[in-house]
Every structure is written in C-alpha cells, then in structure tokens.
A and B are shown apart, each in its own frame.
Chain A
Amino acid sequence: MIRLVISNQRGGVAKTTTAVILARAFAERGRKVLLIDTDSQGSIRTILGLKPEFHLADFLVRNRAFRECIVQACPNVDVICSNRDTTEAEVTLSNSPFRELTFERLFSEHEAAYDAILIDVAPSITLSQQCAMVYAQQVLVPVGMETLSLQGAVAAVNAAAALNRFFKRGLNVRTIGLLPVMVDRRLALTGMVLDSLKQLSGDTGVPVLPVIRTDSSVPKAARVRKFLADFDSGSKALADYNEVASLLLESLDSQHARSEADQPAQAKSA
C-alpha cells in the first residue's frame, strides 16, 4: 500500500496536476488508486470534469458512506472530490479530540481496496493537510521554478518535521522527494532554483527527483477536462511524469517490502 501526500505551501506549483497525472500513471501500471482532494477549491473536480453527488466533507463529518462519496475518473482511479464544505468540515473537526488522526481513523478501513492513495492538499497548512500527513506519512513536494515555490517547499519539509516532533512516538512523516516541475532550462531562474534544490537535498537528505519539463499540453488538458494521457499521449511532461511514477513505485514498493519484512521480525523479538 502506497500512501502519498502531494504538498507545497505555495499555490500554483502543479500540486493538483502532479496528483492527477501520477494517479493515472499508477493506474496504468496496474495499481488501484484512490485520489483524495482536500483542497476546498475543488481543483481535481474541475480539471477532470467530475460531478460527484457527495464530497469529502460529507464523508468526514456528515456520516455519508465511503462508496457514496467516491467517483470513478477512469479505470482503476477513484476520486473523492472536495468543495467549499471542506473548510466547514475542518472547523467542525478542529474541536474534536485527536483531530490529526481523523484520516487515519476514517480511511484505514477502506484502504484495503486500493494499492495507492494519493492526497492532494491545499497550499496552506490546514487541518486536513495535517491529517493527510499523519495518515500517509510520505510527502512529495512539487517545486515550481521560482523563489516562492522554493519557499513553500522548505515550509512543507519543515511542516513534516514539526509533526514528527509534536507526536510522542510512532510518527515518521518523511519527505520522499522534491519534484522540480514546469522546468524551462532557457530561463536563468530555473538553474538557480535547481541549484538551490540540490543544496536543500544535500542538507536535508531529501532526494531531488527527475525534472518535469514545462509543457503547454498540461493546461490544455485541464481546459478540456481530460487526463493528460488521454489528451496528448506524446506530451513531454507526460513522459517525465511516467518516469517519475515508475521511480516512485519502485522506491515505495521496496520500502514497503522492507517494512513488511521488519514487522514479523519485530513481532518475533517482542
């Protein structure tokens, strides 16, 4: 089981695009994927043209059944969409005890039906983002090629560290990679941001993943409300994302296998 949060504390850095394209790429590699949108702007719903009857807030605080809240975006990809009610749900949840464990509590019983759960979060630290990080414990940080995006990436890495410090034990939220997106090497700033990412990677141990080149097909696909793979299968951004998807699956699968192997050993020693 792969659980992954796509986070950056700045908007417009291709978090949602990354989540949607990776979900599709995972699905094409035979994984059953659940894509959860926790951003109250409901971008996934918009860019995929989905029309769900119920949303994340209905599942979180209005006791709607899980199956009522999911909508299939393509074979092997189920989506829980978000809308403005997510903000209201967060206010409700903020006064409940152990609120950061909400996703853990609610999604754990449904995750067996999936091989991968991707969570797209809002560009600011919200309760749902904290819940998502605590639940998934793995964070992928897309970074656009400008300074504010880099600042948001640093804040995302810090947020994971702050959550680990907050909890007494058992929580190990890790940033599994910095993903340079919208890369246009003709621009001077691109080189500078990539250099800075390398520096950040060297200092924090978070790897920098292969770059995603800028591609006009990406916004066009969103405009016609299709997956990029359906809109332009020859897109260079899609090729880059596919490479990253394969790399992530390989890395996360091997980690999962290691942790599964460790668990029986720990149980025996206990």
Chain B
Amino acid sequence: MRDPKPINPPKPSRRKSAAKLEPIDWHEFANDAVLNGNMSTLFHRPPSEDPSAYASPEALVEIEKRANRPVVVPPRIPPAEPKVIPTVGATSPVDLPPVEATSPTAGKGRRVKPIRTVQDALTLAGQILYQAMYGASDGTAPRQCAKGYRQLAAETNLDKDTIRDLIVDFKTKGIVRQIGSYNPDTRSSKTYEVLPSHAIVQGWREAGFLFVTAGRQRPEFCTAQGQTFSGA
C-alpha cells in the first residue's frame, strides 16, 4: 500500500530562502554622481554677474572652466532595434546581417577581415576593457560606466596609461561617449555611456567602416583592399 499523499504539504520557509542583506555603508552613496551632480548648476553663472564678489577661489576656477568650455556634442550612434535572430541555421549567429565578402581579404600586402562584432576592431586589451566597461555582453541598451582608471586597471590587469589611451581610442571610434565629468566638489567620477556591441557595429557600417586590418598589429579600419582610413 502506498503512503497517502499529505493533504497539506509543508510550505517552504520564506525565511530560509530569503537572501541575507548586507549592512548598508553610507560611503557607497557619498560620491554618487546622480544626486550630487545636481550642485553643478551652481557653477553656471549668468553673464551679467561678477561671481568674484562672493564665490570662493576654487569656485571661481570651476566657473571659469565651465564658461570657457565649448559645448561639444559628440556624434550619437543610434542603437539598432533589437531583433530576434535564430542562433542556429543558415542565418548569422549575431544580430547583424553578415557582410558580403565582395572582395578578397588580401590586398596590398595587408590582410583584412570584415567587422562582425565590436571585438573585431579592438586589440586584446581593448576587448578586455570594453568588457569591463560594458559588463555582460547580453545587453541591447547603452550602459553607464563610472569606474575610474584605477578600478578599471585593477579589473583588467592593465596599467592606467593603457586604460587612458584605450578610452581615447574608444571615444574616437564611437564606442563610448562621456556624459559626466569629474566634479571636484562632489568627487563624483567621470561617467561614460558605453554602447552595446551591435549598436557600435551598426554605426560603423553606416559610416562606411566595414573592414579592419587583420593580423598581429593593432586593428585599424580599412577598405576591402586593405587601405586604412586616415584619422578613423
């Protein structure tokens, strides 16, 4: 004879399954750029005003800096609409149509390869840094990165100078754009908007960058014949 099924099976305890919360340390909010950055409006003064009458010397420096700084609007790459793409079959495994290899991948002595993902156009260090800045590569929306050089260097095992050079390169290539600057008053760090891989590649394609140089050298945008774009 089988054991009768209990009428009221015991419910799993919610207490046991609940994750234990870590103590809150207020320092984690101390340099929060989102809230503290609001005070930056202090430094935008009306032109009819002489702030030296009341502003502190440090504030005057900041006011001066903001008044003289030209407004730079970086080109924005529109993110592509996410599509559902089968991961098997004849279609491309990534969410972008494959580039037609209209020309041979060799020309003028340089090997070229079509850009399929953002990683194709980056050095190994660049790939690691992009991963550290964007995080898990499953996103379709831009993400914000407020990590400092030191933190990025620690996460990627690269030195800070390399990080700095790579970020400059990222900006040039439209991979990141700066959306917040370092604020000495609030110690809020510089913040970048990091685009997802497919949006970057889409932007490159629209700009005509379809190939990069292949090989052991640093990849550069080039034509199908292997001619690099100056300043790209």
Chain A residues proximal to chain B, CB less than 8 Å: 9, 94-100, 124-125, 127, 130, 147, 150-152, 154-155, 158-159, 162-163, 165-168, 188-189, 192-193, 195-197, 199-200, 203
Known: A95-B48, A162-B186, A166-B56. 8 other contacts (CB 8 A): A99-B46, A150-B26, A154-B35, A158-B186, A162-B36, A165-B56, A196-B26, A197-B26
Task: Indicate whether B89 reaches chain A with its CB closer than 8 angstroms.
Answer: no
A141 to chain B, nearest CB (A): 12
Chain A residues with CB under 8 Å of B35's CB are: 9, 151-152, 154-155
B137 to chain A, nearest CB (A): 28
Task: Indicate whether B55 reaches chain A with its CB closer than 8 angstroms.
Answer: yes
Chain B residues with CB under 8 Å of A162's CB are: 36, 39, 42, 185-186
A97-B48, A154-B29, A166-B59 as given contacts; A189 in contact with B21, CB under 8 Å:
yes
B197 to chain A, nearest CB (A): 31
Interface string of B14-41 (1 = CB under 8 A from A): 0000000101111001101001101101
Contact of A95 among B21, B25, B38, B46 (CB under 8 A): B46
Number of interface residues of B (CB under 8 A): 27
A189 to chain B, nearest CB (A): 7
List 6 tightest A-B contacts by C-beta distance, closest first: A125-B38, A155-B35, A97-B49, A151-B29, A196-B24, A154-B29
- CB pair A167–B30 under 8 Å, yes or no, is no
Chain B residues with CB under 8 Å of A152's CB are: 35
Complex: how many Å from CA A158 to CA B31?
9
B153 to chain A, nearest CB (A): 27
Nearest residue (CB) in B for A162 is: B39
- CB pair B39–A159 under 8 Å, yes or no, is yes
B97 to chain A, nearest CB (A): 43
- CB pair B48–A199 under 8 Å, yes or no, is no
Chain A residues with CB under 8 Å of B26's CB are: 150, 154, 196-197, 199-200, 203
Which residues in chain B, 56-80, are within 8 Å of chain A measured between CB atoms?
Answer: 56-59
Chain A residues with CB under 8 Å of B48's CB are: 95, 97
A97-B49, A168-B56, A192-B24 as given contacts; A150 in contact with B38, CB under 8 Å:
no
Interface centre among A96, A158, A159, A189 (most CB of B within 10 A): A158
Contact of A165 among B24, B30, B185 (CB under 8 A): B185
- CB pair B39–A154 under 8 Å, yes or no, is no
Chain A residues with CB under 8 Å of B21's CB are: 188-189, 192
Contact of A124 among B38, B49, B53, B186 (CB under 8 A): B38
A151-B35, A154-B29, A166-B59 as given contacts; A98 in contact with B54, CB under 8 Å:
yes
Chain B residues with CB under 8 Å of A147's CB are: 24
A151 to chain B, nearest CB (A): 4
A97-B49, A162-B186, A188-B21 as given contacts; A155 in contact with B36, CB under 8 Å:
yes
- CB pair A94–B42 under 8 Å, yes or no, is no
B31 to chain A, nearest CB (A): 9
- CB pair B30–A168 under 8 Å, yes or no, is no
Chain B residues with CB under 8 Å of A100's CB are: 42
Contact of B25 among A165, A167, A196 (CB under 8 A): A196
Complex: how many Å from CA A155 to CA B59?
19
